[in-house]
Structure 1
Amino acid sequence: MEELVKEVSPFRRFSREEWAALRADTPMTLTQRDLDELRGLNDRIDLAEVETIYLPLSRLLNLYVAATQGLFRATNNFLHLTDRKVPYVIGMAGSVAVGKSTTARILQRLLARWPKHPKVDLVTTDGFLLPNSILEREGLMTRKGFPESYDLPAILRFLSDIKAGKRNVTAPLYSHLTYDVLKDERAVIDQPDILIVEGVNVLQTGRPPRDGRGIPNSSDFFDFSVYIDADTMDLKTWYIERFLTLRDSAFRNPRSYFHRYSTLTDKESRDTATRIWDTINLVNLRENILPTRPRADLVLRKGADHFIRSVFLRKL
């Protein structure tokens, strides 16, 4: 990750200790019970990590949100408008198995406990994946999670409505048990103070059209973006570990899309997870996810033990 600072000058690097000092007097508002509830599968995080990494980040984001809200009020005064403030949108990207969901949930809980923006919602882009029936018809099941497997117009409509300040904007939901979009269930997002949008490819950009017409990207709607980073070999190890855990838990459910893996031996499970990682997730990481890292406002770099070792913040 150090090469990122050299290649992209707008980033300022902080060691773990330097970043921790930026917590200042930010109070700890999470308990061990909260953390146990928020922690994802195989994610290793403790309250010390929250104090060291996430409290300074919540303090920074609180300052950014307040500044943006102040700018919104100033603009309304200038234009003689009475528009309601629009949500502050945070995008969160990173590889499969890097711990995005846990990070997003922890930030959601911390930010909601700041007094001036108590309503913080979280949406994952899994719900915007095309249904399996369409992916199968188009031969895209092995490309699930790649940019082409998402309903991009639906994502853009959702984010556009959010940024327009509309009420009761809905987002589709996804089942990791059935590995498919839920047909009749949707989340309702009603003018939150902050919205976190989490997904592997949320910082993705498309190629400019030949006719010169502008096409929006999801990241165009973000006020701040976070990329969670880790060494590729660590990601592979974490993915295999997670696969083994799921084999002994969720995959045992007969309704699970991956129920067929529940009877695999340890060696068969490791071989299967390695094949899936090497042929699908690693390809997506290299071709689509990793190239978006320099576009983030903040990069959290994890070590092999899952704990954040360095923080890279884009200069204003």
Structure 2
Amino acid sequence: MNVSDSNYSPYILFDREKWANLRFNTPLTLTEKEIEELRGLNEKLSIEEVSEVYLPLTRLLNLYIIASQQLHNVTDTFFGEKTRKVPYIIGIAGSVAVGKSTTARIIQALLSRWPNHPKVDLVTTDGFLHPNAVLEERGLLGRKGFPESYNIKELINFLSRIKSGEANVTAPIYSHLYYDIIPNHYIEINQPDIVIVEGINVLQTPRNEDENLPSVYVSDFFDLSIYVDAEVTDISRWYVERFKLLRKTAFRNPVSYFNKYANLTEEEAEEIAAGIWSNINQRNLEQNIKPTINRADIILKKGANHTVSSIKLKKM
């Protein structure tokens, strides 16, 4: 733990070795095969990474969740009534290509093995993007992922219903293959113990000109939030590497929205990916995503090799 700046920073900083020691006796409940299945396309997720970073993290989350459940019971006792079970909501934010989806899947898998909260659901905010037809009509297709490309009202309504303990709440499904919302297809959230909400926009706040938006933020519904961070140069490289891998795999599907990129040469793919990154994703990161980092309760900082090198935990 680094306490040299403890009087000035709202966070306690842990290097990886100190953080790993906080695992104590928490057992590893995932097999190597399961970890491999959770890994992102161009990420290096090892058993060591899960053991040293994510086991201590989920041990801490488990303690937070138990405390929240106890507080809920105490509140029920105070009012003399039994209220509906309310899920613990965890938000996970970060740039495109930083690996937040993998982080969300690992946390989901590990938390679901704890006995006191076995039902853990994962929702991505991609499902709350406006359909491509709407984005085209508004001239926003080239700004997909920017705050204005999301149906924030629908996302807030969804989270409000979840946090009220409502049963059978649905959310739209987004297809990365078609690069669009799938009409009339939904995922159903039915009173889980925990909901993980993952997306680049989950810690953003409405701008002053967003007069039609509700006076609440998406993050108002979170019990805890995590930001996955890395240097911009590293994220850019990961994005380009992932694009080139997709060119050889998913893009080759004839129905893929990005099939037009499947036959690019290595040099052409790198040039186009770098252009998309700098013109769209990096701008969104710098203007809208990165400024929200200090709203997170936990910051996972990745090094150039895609593994977590340090952890910041907000002081209580």
TM-score between the two structures when normalised by the length of structure 2? 0.96
Deviations 1:20-59 (A, max 9, x none): 0000110000101111111111111100100000000000
Give 2:85's aligned amino acid.
K
Is residue 2:139 matched to residue 1:108?
Answer: no
CA RMSD of aligned residues (A): 1.7
2:305 aligned partner, one-letter code = D
- 1:28 maps to what in 2? 28
Call closer, same or farther: CA 1:134–1:210 in 2, change over 3 Å: closer
Is it true that 1:47 corresponds to 2:42 in the alignment?
A: no
The Cα shift of 1:210 comes to 10
SS at match of 1:283: helix
Query: For 2:145 and 2:280, how far apart are their aligned partners in 1?
Result: 9
Pairing of 1:256-275 with structure 2 (within 5 A): 256-275=256-275
Distance (whole Å) between structure 1 residues aligned to residue 216 and residue 125 of structure 2: 17
Q: Secondary structure at the residue paired with 2:29? A: coil
Q: Does 1:150 align with 2:135?
A: no
| Paired residue type of 1:255 | V
1:181-213: CA deviations, max 9, x gaps? 0102100000000000000010001135799x9
Deviations 1:269-306 (A, max 9, x none): 01000100000000000000000000000000000001
Question: Aligned partner of 1:64: which letter?
Answer: Y
Distance in 2 (alpha carbons) for counterparts of 1:285 and 1:311: 20
Shift of 1:84: 2.2
In the alignment, is the contact (CA less than 8 A) between 2:6 and 2:12 conserved in 1? no
Instruction: Write the distance in 2 (CA, Å) between the matches of 1:136 and 1:221.
Output: 30
Report the equivalent of 1:204: 204
SS at structure 2 position matched to 1:158: helix
Q: Whole-Å Cα distance in 2 between the matches of residues 71 and 82 of structure 1?
A: 13
Deviation at 1:80, TM superposition (A): 1.2
Q: In structure 1, how many angstroms separate the alpha carbons of the residues matched to 2:10 and 2:165?
A: 31
Instruction: Name the SS for the 1:280 alignment partner.
Output: helix
Q: Which residue of 1 aligns with 2:222?
A: 222
Aligned to 1:299: 299
Q: In structure 2, what residue type is equivalent to 1:218?
A: V
Amino acid at match of 1:133: A
> Which residue of 1 is the match for residue 250 of structure 2?
250
Alignment-derived partner of residue 290 in structure 2: 290
Distance across 2 between alignment mates of 1:210 and 1:188: 29
Q: Secondary structure at the match of 2:42?
A: coil
The amino acid across from 1:40 in the alignment is G
Q: Is the 8 A contact 1:208 1:214 kept in 2?
A: no
Q: Which amino acid aligns with 2:294?
A: P
CA distance in 2, matches of 1:260, 1:210: 36
Aligned to 1:183: 183
**Aligned-pair CA distance for 1:216:** 0.6
Q: Distance in 1 between matches of 2:145 and 2:193?
A: 28
Q: Does structure 2 retain, via aligned residues, the 8 Å contact 1:303–1:309? A: yes
Tell me how far apart the structure 2 counterparts of residues 149 and 202 of structure 1 sit (CA, whole Å): 13
Deviation at 1:85, TM superposition (A): 2.3
Match of 2:118 in 1: 118
Whole-Å separation in 2 of the counterparts to 1:8 and 1:255 = 53
Q: Tell me, what secondary structure is at the counterpart of 1:204?
A: coil
Q: What letter matches 2:134 in structure 1?
A: I
TM-superposition CA deviations, 1:148-194 (whole Å, max 9, x none):
00001110010000000000000110100000001021000000000
Separation in 1 of the partners of 2:31 and 2:214? 46
**8 Å CA contact 1:129, 1:181 repeated in 2:** yes
Counterpart of 2:12, as a letter, is: R
Q: Indicate the percent of aligned positions where both proteins have the same amino acid.
A: 56
* Gapped regions of structure 1 (runs ≥ 5): none
Aligned residue for 1:165, secondary structure, equals coil
- Is the contact made by 2:171 and 2:187 (CA closer than 8 Å) also made in structure 1? yes
CA distance in 2, matches of 1:93, 1:244: 24
Q: Counterpart amino acid of 1:183?
A: P
Partner amino acid, structure 2, of 1:69 = Q
Normalised by the length of structure 1, the TM-score is 0.96
Give 4+ residue runs of structure 1 displaced > 4 Å after superposition: 5-8, 208-211
User: Displacement of 1:72 after TM fit?
Assistant: 0.7
1:59 matched residue in structure 2: 59
Q: CA deviation at 1:8?
A: 6.4
